[in-house]
Amino acid sequence: MVKTSGPRPVKAVITQPTRALNTIYQNNTGRPLLVHVSCGCTRVATNDYAYMLAYTGGSTPPTTLVAGAGHGDQGAASRDEFEIVFAVPIGHYYRIVTYTYGTSTVILDYWTEVEL
């Protein structure tokens, strides 16, 4: 006989913690996390680039690339909003790394975490 149970209720703890780009964090919540990050990426000149990459891993620094967004090095100057969403297993580390060239920038707009 297989014991079945009802669906696991989602704790639905939604937070907007104080976070910084290029900083390593650890999921010590006891539940998997869903992380949603929005950044403004500004490319100032045609050959500039601005983007962000999300990494997770069981050790620090996390090295598994799980998401990314931003401007490549071709196209007109512009500022656009980019969003990434990724999961972080219990106990794992995570970070958002930014890459820019020239006078381009990546600015954190918001960072939301949901305990699943």
Most confident of 66-70, 74-78, 92-96: 92-96
Q: Are 115 and 31 contacting, i.e. CB atoms less than 8 angstroms apart?
A: yes
Domains, in order of start, for the chain: 13-115 (2.60.120.40)
| Tens-digit pLDDT profile for residues 24-62 | 999 999 999 999 999 988 887 777 888 899 999 999 999
* Single pTM value for the model: 0.84
Residue among 71, 94, 72 at smallest CA distance from 21: 94
Alpha carbons 98 and 77: distance in angstroms, whole number? 18
Distances (CA, A) of 36 to 40, 43, 96: 14, 22, 11
